[in-house]
Amino acid sequence: MTDLFERPAVQGEQQPARSSRAEQRARRAAKKRRQRRRRRALVVLLVSLLVVGGAGYLLLNNASDLFGFANPLEAKDFEGPGTEPVDVVIEPGSTGRDMGAVLTEAGVVASSAAFANAFEDNPNAGKIQPGTHTLLLGMSAKDAVARLVANDSRVETKITIPEGSTVSQILEKASSVTDIPVADFQAAMADTAATGLPAEANGNYEGWLFPTTYVLEPQDKNALAIIQGMVSQTVMKLDELGVAPENREAVLIKASLIEREAGRDEDRPKMSRAIENRLATGMPLQIDAAVAYGTGNPPGYQVKPEDTRDATNPYNTYAHNGLPPGPIASPGAASMQAVLNPEPGEWLFWTTVNYDTKETRFAVTLAEHNRNVDALKQWLAENEG
């Protein structure tokens, strides 16, 4: 029956939901508020990402300095080949990053990262020598590494002092190589405290300037530094050999005599023994090299009979027994070692019998020695002119 389905509404009964205009407006306002909140949250997120990203970029940009690895973002490089020369100093123990920082600051390469990359790519980069190098402004990192490896950019001065050189010869050689006047070296040597000359040398540099090759950096190219280096090398060598300070001068005197007399290393220990045997028996040493030194003539001077009779020459080992008053040259390590380790034997005499081969014969008796002298005379007769 229809009355069951179409009955009139009872007062107070809930009606089906039908939005009013006020409700619709409220919903739209709420929706807009939610959208604004979402936009604000998105902006905050983007800003946060930008901040974090910027910090990340800064961190990456400085990561090479902080953590020691190359940053690809900063690996700027010059095309090269370079322009004006500039000196840079590579310190001992420098890593590729250390070198790159120095070269970047000097304007040689565009970035330390580019140099570090080139350093790692060059298998010979570990051979780069410390010291002062002349490179070019605006070089490519690859070229800079290659030039350092080649070591042809290194700024250095080499002074080679042969064994048996006298002080006058050494100063002339040092002056010719460095263009420092001999007078400047002599002035520096006047201050023995500054040069480090030991007290036992009694102010005499003869024998105390060690013969070797000295490699000078630009900052060391001055008279005082050069003399200091030579003296310190002698002291260091004597210390290595265990020579006490009070024995240094005697060792250098004996070693200098051996240096100027011996032509071959194998003869030095025998000559050392002959010198000790003569000193022990009170015989004069009769060493021509010492006599020649005392005459004041240049090295190579041939001693004359009258020179051996000149008692006014304190280095005349014919007229005076014992050792001369000081060294006659700068001895090398082999002669020093021979003094400390003489070969066992009873020799008292020696003479060179062949000036080409430097063969030297040793004798116990004068008769044996005279036969050796005859052998020398025969060689001279056969090789005149």
pLDDT band for 277, please (50, 70, 90 cuts).
very high
Length of the chain counted residue by residue? 385
pLDDT band for 90, please (50, 70, 90 cuts).
confident
pLDDT of residue 23: 56
Does 9 score more than 70 pLDDT? no
Domain residues of the chain, as ranges?
84-150, 156-343, 348-384
Percent of the chain whose predicted confidence (pLDDT) is above 90 = 55
pLDDT of residue 334: 96
pLDDT of residue 6: 37
Q: What is the pTM of this model?
A: 0.69
Picking from 141-145, 178-182, 315-319, 363-367, which range would have the lowest pLDDT averaged per residue?
141-145
CA distance 242 to 245: 9
Q: CB count, 10 Å around CB of 326?
A: 19
Residue 184, CB-side half-sphere exposure with 13 Å CA sphere: 13
CATH architecture assignment, domain 84-150: 2-Layer Sandwich (3.30)
pLDDT of residue 66: 46
Does 82 score more than 60 pLDDT? yes
Does 382 score more than 60 pLDDT? yes
Does 157 score more than 90 pLDDT? no
Percent of the chain whose predicted confidence (pLDDT) is above 70 = 81
181, 216 in Cβ contact below 8 A? no
Burial label, 106 (beta-carbon count in 10 A; 0-12, 13-18, 19+)? middle
Residues in Cβ contact with 3 at an 8 Å cutoff, skipping those fewer than 6 apart: none
Does 224 score more than 50 pLDDT? yes
260, 329 in Cβ contact below 8 A? yes
Report the candidate in 126, 56, 68, 134 with the shortest Cα–Cα distance to residue 98.
68
309-335 confidence digits (pLDDT tens): 999 999 999 999 999 999 999 999 999
pLDDT band for 16, please (50, 70, 90 cuts).
very low
pLDDT band for 18, please (50, 70, 90 cuts).
very low
Query: What mean pLDDT is predicted for residues 157-163?
Result: 92
pLDDT of residue 280: 96
Tell the residue number behind the tokens 């500054």, with chain if given: 194
pLDDT of residue 21: 53
Per-chain mean pLDDT for the chain: 84
Does 191 score more than 70 pLDDT? yes
pLDDT of residue 3: 36
Query: What mean pLDDT is predicted for residues 195-199?
Result: 96
Chain centroid to CA 355:
38
Picking from 114-128, 146-160, 167-181, which range would have the lowest pLDDT averaged per residue?
146-160
